[in-house]
Amino acid sequence: MAESMIPEIPPALSMEKPGIDFSYVGIDAILEQMRRKAMKQGFELNIMVVGQSGLGKSTLMNTLFKSKVSRKSFVGTPEEKIPQTIEIKSISHDIEEKGVRMKLTVIDTPGFGDQINNENCWQPIMRFINDQYEQYLQEEINIDRKKRIPDSRVHCCIYFIPPTGHWPLDVEFMRRLSKVVNIVPVIAKADTLTLEERDFFKKKIREELRANGIDVYPQKEFDEDPEDRMINEKIREMIPFAVVGSDQEYQVNGRRLLGRKTKWGTIEVENIAHCEFAYLRDLLIRTHMQNIKDITSSIHYEMYRVRRLNENNTQANGLSDHHPASHEI
């Protein structure tokens, strides 16, 4: 009876196999185990879009869903006009490719800049980001802790800079955001700039980010080794990505592609000769997804957790009666 429960030794592990290499330990088999575990669990990535009103945040979000990332799984009505965003809204798509599952969530936020007083326009967004950390924290400290905590933390925030030049408000917003979340700045509606203007503006923004101590993703201090540094240095030289968004498909030379049709031709959104949307998408989804999530977890979330712990200690010592909101920085 008991014997029948012993699993059969697969041929690869059988000692009787002729010509077996006894010096081979088989540590590399861990890779296959990790791969199987990851395939079973799937991946989650939460991206937020932030910026002034009318810069094309919702459009770019749709571009991402409709681009090569998930064109297969896209179901929707392409002709619908995107309305102005009036509340923070999360939209998720399940994507599957070669057996790997991924849940891509985009958090669309209402643009600011419409109000007469835009002073504290970052508050609802900062609150949302911190609320997700708080939810995760509560799940973590729960005695009946779930085997797998649902992760709604914002892994990355795409910050839209107007092509017409940015406001002091944008600098202040990015400065605050960069302390709690990974931010990737983009120049919105880059089709409205000439190539020279684009290059000049990109350089100017990089200088200004540096001058204001705004550390955007990929942050230099988190480069893991020289190889990492080399790759990330190239990205840092390209930031901010000059993007163009569209949810309309056109037929160009027999190919269907996402683009913006003008009198002079079609701007192909996914063509790197036309704009840098594909670089942004590849950074987020193809090359740096795991790293973006690791930094969220080990740096941004960890900082939030420590802050909350300190708040609790202060309260426990009766030093303050301040409610642990942790919302504002």
Q: Which residues bind ligand GTP (CB under 6 A)?
A: 53-59, 82, 84-85, 110-111, 189, 191-192, 244-245, 260
* Residue 113 touches which member of ligand GTP, Mg ion, none, C-beta under 5-8 Å by kind: none
Q: Which does 271 bind (CB under 5 to 8 A by kind): ligand GTP, Mg ion, none?
A: none
* Shorter beta-carbon distance to ligand GTP: residue 58 or 326: 58
Distances (CA, A) of 221 to 23, 225, 280: 40, 11, 21
Cβ–Cβ < 8 Å for 61, 157: no
Q: How many CB atoms lie within 10 A of CB 176?
A: 18
- CB 100, CB 37: distance < 8 Å: no
- Segment holding 268, helix H or strand E: strand 265-268
Residue 259 interacts with which of ligand GTP, Mg ion, none, CB < 5 to 8 Å by class: none
Report the partner that residue 164 touches, choosing among Mg ion, ligand GTP, none (CB closer than 5 to 8 A by kind): none
Q: Based on CB atoms, which residue is closest to ligand GTP, 209 or 244?
A: 244
Contact 74, 93 (CB under 8 A): yes
Find the length of the chain: 329
Pairing of strands 156-161, 43-51: parallel
- Beta bridge partner(s), residue 80: none
Using rule CB under 5 A, residue 85 touches Mg ion = yes
Q: Which residue is nearest to Mg ion (CB)?
A: 85
Residue 153 binds which of Mg ion, ligand GTP, none (CB < 5-8 A, kind-dependent) = none
Tokens of 226: 């020289």
Distance CA 283, CA 281 (A): 5
The packing angle between helices 123-141 and 302-316, to 10°, is 80
Residues 302 and 324: their CA atoms lie apart, in Å, by: 16
Q: 137 touches which of Mg ion, ligand GTP, none (CB within 5 to 8 A by kind)?
A: none
C-beta of 56 vs 218, nearer to ligand GTP = 56
Secondary structure of residue 37 in the 3-state scheme: helix
As measured in angstroms, the least distance from the Cβ of 218 to Mg ion is 27
Check binding of 53 to Mg ion (CB under 5 A): no
Of 47, 174, 57, 53, nearest to 122 (Cα)?
A: 174
User: Shortest Cβ distance from residue 53 to Mg ion (Å)?
Assistant: 8
Binding mask 247-276 for Mg ion (x = CB under 5 A): ------------------------------
Residue number, 112 or 136, with CB nearest to ligand GTP: 112
186-245 residues near Mg ion, rule: CB under 5 A:
none
Give the largest CA-CA distance in the chain: 81
Residues 101, 37: contact at Cβ < 8 Å?
no
Q: Which among 64-72, 79-87, 155-163, 182-190 is the span making contact with Mg ion, rule CB under 5 A?
A: 79-87
Q: Which of 46, 52, 58, 62 binds Mg ion (CB under 5 A)?
A: 58
Which of ligand GTP, Mg ion, none does residue 55 bind to, with CB < 5 to 8 Å depending on kind? Answer: ligand GTP
Residues in contact with Mg ion by CB under 5 A are 57-58, 85
